[in-house]
Structure 1
């Protein structure tokens, strides 16, 4: 069986849904399970509904109406007959959300979030399944919550692999075409859970693992995985092949390749992951699998903007050793700083962090009571995997290098 994952950009409007049909027609759809995300920016819109529920009851109705009208517009573009059953099915799903928000008594944001946000996926797959049946591509719609079982750690649920394997093995016929939702699961009480960052890609990997699939294909609006973000680097190249390990390394340094948790179940069973373009489905794309580290073997550039570089030195020229370093990391952890690079000498310690939660000033006040602190805000962190001298020179031109760190395969530069 093959697993196909289509993200929100691929089904953002009626033309996107029609193009998905074109992709399936070109590459075939037998023995295939489709994992589909919410349409366009629906997840953001559902998050707005949740925010209004907690903080702006007056704006709740309007936020909800925007989501309904967006999907109704797509339905009217796809189905000539507005009495088609998909209209009432979609309406029922939205009524379920309203019902939940009316009777819910839980004050817990994460619980409410998981019960509401996933309706974006439930609606998108309901529309897509109905349209495929309408154009003659017979399929079965699955509620993913009946298959992927998790704990109740809402917004970042952990998969119960044993129960999930049992449900998938007994409930899926590998000879059929199925459509299901990404990102979602359910706990032992059958409350909806979500799988956290890159949840839809992870869903595809979970099904692939449980079904011993031939492959997973993630369909994107780019030709595959590139060696650099074309928004920031000219002449980005397509990577034909990447090993699992290399993909995990690139993700670790911040490349939006594939999240490591998606790769882990695939790696265990050596199931190849393909990244292909839904605009050009016959294009080669990128294969992530066992074997070749990188093909072609070219430098890979990763950039993180708006970072903070802090240089700390001891007030009395004493050594910065294990005790003080562990204390520093506790402070960074307590202030929710994501550490991207560290470098230390006998009496100094440099760290490049992402001030994602806006707690920098509070941290600096604490650090300045213990250390001499020099802080550079708004810097960029460049990482080059498989670097050569030309690659480094291209970044050094016109930039002030504040810190450089090299290993065998990787160089990192913090620049102003």
Structure 2
């Protein structure tokens, strides 16, 4: 049985300054079921902290970065009814950060420690904003160090959570919150996203965008009824509104569809976020902290409206690798040999197509600097038995929907797929992947044509009387 408890996560733009924090605090105070709040670092802080970890940073540059970070936090603190204790807490954290940043050689564990300060400080400040806005002794917001609960391995920079341990510790540390349902909205835990710790207490991070993931892990651990993700956009749209002003909001979407969107580049959700929610069947709500009453998107296990096409996702900075060898012809083991080499060098492949004598694969250059890794670690090994061609400046476009393999085919009777590609006449596609998933059709195009293609597809699929289908839930 689920507890009537909501976990709410607020992103960096939602905590950018004092006014933004007040809006989020009002949202929490007006929602009695929110008992756990997970926060990111204030907008811009993580970028500054990342710069602090660069090797051979000049003293003047380091001091300038530290002053910028302090200024962001001090501006918020100055608008609080602060005490000497609060001021000292903030000062102590900044002094510790400055000390760590002076390390001559910043190792991965020290880098994670440095990156954690954004969330440590924003959670401290947001707790004070909540308590100040509540203005009474009945309501209590408590700042909690998530590293006591969110245990991970020691892969610094991209740590893997220990699900069982997190569940065990969350039940212990959040017992008062979980059992306080009948006491009203009296006790709220404010904690950090993005960070965790090893069993030995070393700080780790879950990778960029890991705050959503952290919130989902905690929601799963305490068996919450809902996970809320509050950001700067009004939910999930039929495509990124920055690509076309005609993007339409989606009121409800399935876990499967949302997972595909996140995987293929939708910025509103971190790809890993949905895994804990799916495991525990916890609905996820995505809304804007700037306009919390204007609706958002609910992500659930099953939806009534299942359009053939739901949305379009874009992922830029892709690299296409073509591996060709006559030895493939009527041979066995070639694919295993190629992917064995890629695996040895920790290179993750996104899409793949094959012919009799060649393999084409895509790598996400924006995440792993794919081309550089490929040349450094794999080229020599692969060239020993095959020809290699590398193409960059490409974008991956994914059409997300439902039962695409059953509802349509490229030459199908209803002509939906055919009409999609007919709308893209004169477009050079470097790769098409279709059939591996019932929820997507993907193709690779030139970076400089991607936005135009998104606009044409969106117009064809979602706009006006000629739209093939609608992404709007009924």
TM tier, smaller: 0.7 to 0.9
Between 172-181 and 189-198, the greater mean CA deviation after superposition: 189-198
1:30 shift after superposition: 4.8
String of CA shifts for 1:160-212, please: whole Å, max 9, x gaps: 33443333223222231221111122222222222224321122112212221
1:24 is displaced (CA, Å) by: 2.9
- Alignment match, 1:383: 398
Q: Is the 8 A contact 2:210 2:270 kept in 1?
A: no
Relative to structure 1, the CA distance from residue 361 to residue 145 in structure 2 (aligned partners, 3 Å threshold; closer, same or farther) is closer
- Of 24, 31, 37 in structure 2, the residue corresponding to residue 20 of structure 1 is 24
Structure 1 residue aligned with 2:76, among 71, 74, 98? 74
Give the whole-Å Cα distance in 2 for the aligned partners of 1:349 and 1:320: 14
What is aligned with 2:359?
349
User: C-alpha distance in 1, partners of 2:265/2:34?
Assistant: 34
Deviations 1:332-356 (A, max 9, x none): 4456654222111112222233344
CA shift, 1:299, in A, is: 3.7
2:101 matches 1:91: no
1:3 aligns with 2:7: yes
- How far is 1:380 from its partner? 2.2
Q: Aligned with 1:48: secondary structure?
A: helix
Aligned-pair distance for 1:331? Answer: 4.1
- d(CA) in 2 for partners of 1:165, 1:312: 45
The superposition leaves residues 347-406 of structure 1 with CA deviations (integer Å, 9 ceiling, x where unpaired) of: 222223334422455555665554344443312222212363444344x24421233232
Which of residues 103, 108, 111 in structure 2 aligns to 1:110? 108
Extract unaligned runs of 5+ from structure 1: none
8 A Cα contact 1:240 1:296, kept in partner: no
Equivalent position SS for 2:363 = strand
Q: TM-score, normalised by structure 2?
A: 0.77
Aligned residue number for residue 171 of structure 2: 169
Tell me the equivalent position of 2:468.
none
Does the CA-based 8 Å contact 2:53-2:106 persist in structure 1? no
Which digits, 9 at most, give the CA deviation of each residue in 1:275-326, with x for residues without a partner?
Answer: 1111221233111122128656534212222323333332x47517443222
Which residue number corresponds to residue 124 of structure 1?
122
Larger deviation: 88-97 or 243-252? 243-252
Alignment equivalent of 2:256, drawn from 234, 237, 245: 245
- Is the Cα contact below 8 Å between 1:23 and 1:281 reproduced in 2? yes
Contact 1:275–1:287 (Cα < 8 Å) also in 2 = yes
Q: 2:215 — aligned with what?
A: 204
Counterpart residue number, 1:405: 433
Equivalent residue for 2:155? Answer: 153
What CA distance in whole angstroms lies between the structure 1 residues aligned with 2:199 and 2:383?
48
Q: For the residues of structure 1 that align with 2:129 and 2:32, how far apart are their CA atoms?
A: 15
| 8 Å CA contact 2:236, 2:249 repeated in 1 | yes
Paired residue for 2:201? 190
Q: CA deviation at 1:123?
A: 0.7
Deviates more, 1:120-129 or 1:90-99: 90-99
Which one of 395, 402, 421 corresponds to residue 392 of structure 1?
Answer: 421
Partners of 1:247 and 1:257 within 8 A in 2: no
Conserved? CA contact 2:260–2:439, under 8 Å: no
CA distance in 1, matches of 2:101, 2:392: 42
Q: Is the Cα contact below 8 Å between 1:321 and 1:346 reproduced in 2?
A: no
Contact 1:342/1:352 (8 A) holds in 2:
yes
Distance 1:266 1:277, change over 3 A: same
| Aligned equivalents of 2:336, 2:304: Cα separation in 1 | 35
Go from structure 1 to structure 2 and tell me whether the alpha carbon gap of 1:134 and 1:333 turns closer, same or farther (over 3 Å shift).
same
* SS of corresponding position for 1:135: helix
The TM-score with structure 1 as length reference comes to 0.87
Change (3 A) 1:338 1:22: same
Q: 1:309 aligned to 320, 325, 332, which one? A: 320
Total equivalences in the alignment: 408
Change (3 A) 1:186 1:348: closer
Cα RMSD, aligned residues only = 2.8
Q: What is the DSSP-based 3-state SS (H/G/I as helix, E as strand, rest coil) of the residue aligned with 1:258?
A: coil
Distance 1:296 1:217, change over 3 A: farther
